[in-house]
Amino acid sequence: MSLRILHSRLRGLTPLLLLIGIVIACAPRAAPTAAMELTTPMQAKATPTPGATPTERARWIPTPTPGPTPTPTPQPLVPPDPDRAAELTRKGEELFLKSDLAGAEDAFIDAIAADPEYLPAHIGLTRVYLYQSQYWQQALAAAQAAQALAPDDPTVLAYLAWAQQQAHHFDEARETALRAVKLGPDNALAHAALADVLISVYEVDAALEHARRAVELDDQSAVVWFILGYAEASYHNWDAAAEAYDRAIELEPTFFAWRLARARHELNTTGDIVAAREIAQPALELQPDHAWTLFFLADLAIETRDWEAAESACQRLFALDQPHTPYPDGYMCMATAMFLQERFREAEHYQTLAEERATPERRDVGLMRMRLYIENDECQKARELAQDWLDARPYSVSAMRMIGLSYLCEEDYEQAAAYFRRAFEALPRSVMGARLLAVAYARDGKASEAMAALNKVRSFAREDPTYYQALYEVQIALGNRREALRAAQRWQILRPYDTRPRVNIALLHLMLDNVAAARGAAESALADGEQSATLYAVLGEAFHRQGDLEKAEEYLRRAVERNANHYLARDFLASFYISQGQCEEALPHLRWLKERTKDEERVSNLARAIKLCEVRTGTRPTPAPDEALSDDAAEAAARERVIAAGAEPRRVEMAEAFDGWALVVAYSTSLDPDSEDFIELERRLAFDLARLIPRISSQPDMLVLISGSGERPRHLILIPAWAAILWADGDLSDEEFERTWRRQEAPVVKEQGDETP
């Protein structure tokens, strides 16, 4: 996310906002089926939107022009040669285990040509396509061809279930896998396939049972150990998952997928990019252009904020999208990379490309669209899209979460919590689920419920960075800044290469007035590649507080240019301009903030600041016709008020004074100038005459009031028109209004018509 972030400074002008971001993970899992219904959300910093117009020109990365993709059509031998088919199938299996997928494909195709009814060749070809996500259609066709030969074979049905899963036909895949287990209760692959499919439909408990059963039935099968690792990881059993992945590698050391799975597990659980890359290195060499390899490289680059490398990896995925291999995932990868950089127009561009290439079953492609809607405050649109998903797949936790986020977007915390609670009940060991529910409670001021949600996962999530990210978000929403700081620091320890916790640490130091520490943390993140609007906003505000106005404005402007809809950046920049008396520059940001603020008190404060700036810049309202006073009428009304107060008018006129247009009123009285009565009369007349200022059509800049005793002037009071207008409208109290007056010793007062002093 990356984010709208809670903060409570800026002289009471800032509403308290916290937007929890969910961004789809850039990479699908390296598994027999790379596509699955379960999509794990993860936070981004950022905030908004497809409709935003960034100052920075959008950079479209060119997409390839699809060329023809040959679809293998085996030419059967006449007569069939089963022995030749068996020999070629063995060759295909050997090549497959050496990660030579292209060679294995050729061998299996030739085997089928040698004997179209040789079942192991069809299964082998299915496996080859299953391990290449873009060949999901070919995988399904190959599995169906195998089923036509052996409709009740549990192994065939297991591979068919995986192919259906890869095509996102989850309900069909579940039925097929259940049938496979029913027909082959002692078939390890049937149990493994069922476990995998059950994870896709969020039946994690049952999935883990079947995965463990698969290993019991065949502990020499690398794929069943891999599925066990995936199931254990889904259950948050990190060590058991790592052991299962390691066992798969031991059994098939030259097969790339197991190493990528283990490397991704290392990255997800420790954040150690060096160790993760070392584990993956053989796979990177064996399959440098494979989709799972490129996704892994993109995620490594994102972890270190190496955006050029991330974009390069995503761009290489574009080539996998061809007429016979529709593959939206490369565009999804690029959309995610752009979103995380707050380049929302470009994210929108690649998201559109992904949607154009996706089949209706690819509901997961819509996640980024929902995210863009939410970031653009189009909450209802996001909810409609997510609800359609949930209607089609009532088990979809991702859809439930997105509906919850759409309500969070509208600050309907009760409804948000209801959907997050439903999602968490479906996956009770999900730290992400606990996080979302806890934040909804915290934003609703329900501290005990928020902590209770996190406590449900605390026993097994104490080394999970997502837990501490959640704790940080909850504590900051509850106003517990020091507790939030400790949580963010722990998050940073567990994710040393991640700049997001450092940005949040910098923000918290700023909120705690530890300006030097805030600047240090922000500059550290900047040096490590962080480019978010939040970072620039925090750094700009730190420079502002340290008095470096040039750098303050530079970074605050950069923050808004980076993300035109970033609340924190707009707030800090408005505050900066107000503090410098640059109301004209502050006004657009104040108006933007007011439009997007829902808290009534904060809206009132922003409206007050806007009116103040409008008055000070001369864009004040014209008096109503029935109340408007000409200059002559204003002079007459002022004279009447002086007389009514028991004083003698010495000079009353509209005139140039103190480099502005003013209502000048001089009076004298017989009261002792050192008496309380003299001061009280002076004060009463100042308030009374100030009421005329908003009504004068010529819009004076000030009221100049000169009090005197006998023939001697005593005090000169300058009252700014903008303050008189705000006070008359009830936007300033008497005390606040009086503090805007400037009182000094009076000069000699000339007679009416003489040159103004």
pLDDT digits (tens, 9 = 90+) for 349-367: 999 999 999 999 999 999 9
pLDDT value for 57: 42
pLDDT digits (tens, 9 = 90+) for 211-245: 999 999 999 999 999 999 999 999 999 999 999 99
Residue 22 clears pLDDT 80, i.e. is over it? no
Q: What is the pLDDT of residue 620?
A: 65
Average pLDDT of the chain is 88
CA distance readout (Å), 95 to 89, 91, 248, 291: 10, 6, 17, 19
Letter string b/e over residues 452-485, b meaning 16 or more CB atoms within 10 A of that residue's CB: ebbebbeeebeebbbbbbbbbbbbbbbebbebbb
Q: What does the pLDDT read at residue 79?
A: 87
pLDDT-derived band at 13, boundaries 50, 70, 90: very low
Where are the strands (E) in 71-173, listed by range? Answer: none
pLDDT at 28: 31
Task: State phi, psi for 655 to the nearest 5 degrees.
Answer: -160, 165
Let me know: does 544 contact 572? Beta carbons within 8 Å: yes
Q: In Å, how far are 26, 339, 549, 553, 616 from 661, measured between CA atoms?
A: 63, 52, 32, 33, 14
> Smallest Cα–Cα separation from 24: which of 12, 37, 13?
37
- 201 falls in which pLDDT band (50, 70, 90)? very high
Output the pLDDT for position 32: 35
Q: What is the pLDDT of residues 311-353, one digit of tens each?
A: 999 999 999 999 999 999 999 999 999 999 999 999 999 999 9
313: left (phi over 0), alpha (psi -120 to 50) or beta: alpha
The full length of the chain comes to 757
Are 451 and 489 contacting, i.e. CB atoms less than 8 angstroms apart? Answer: no
- Using the predicted structure, report yes or no on whether residue 249 has a pLDDT greater than 60: yes
List phi, psi (to 5°) of 9.
Answer: -95, -150
pLDDT tens digits, 545-555: 999 999 999 99
Phi and psi at 748, nearest 5°, equal -70, 135
Contact call for residues 393 and 38 (beta carbons, < 8 A): no
Q: 37 and 28 in contact (C-beta within 8 Å)?
A: no
Q: Please say if the pLDDT value at position 456 is more than 90.
A: yes
Token code pair at residue 362: 């690819």
- Grouping H, G, I as helix, E, B as strand and the rest as coil, residue 171 is helix
- Give residue 18's pLDDT: 25
Report the alpha-carbon distance of residue 512 to residue 518 in Å, rounded: 9
* pLDDT confidence tier of residue 484, bands split at 50, 70 and 90: very high
| Model confidence pLDDT, tens digit, residues 380-392 | 999 999 999 999 9
Average of pLDDT values for 292-303?
96
Give yes or no for residue 5 having a pLDDT over 70. Answer: no
d(CA 102, CA 169): 26
- pLDDT above 90 as % of the chain: 78
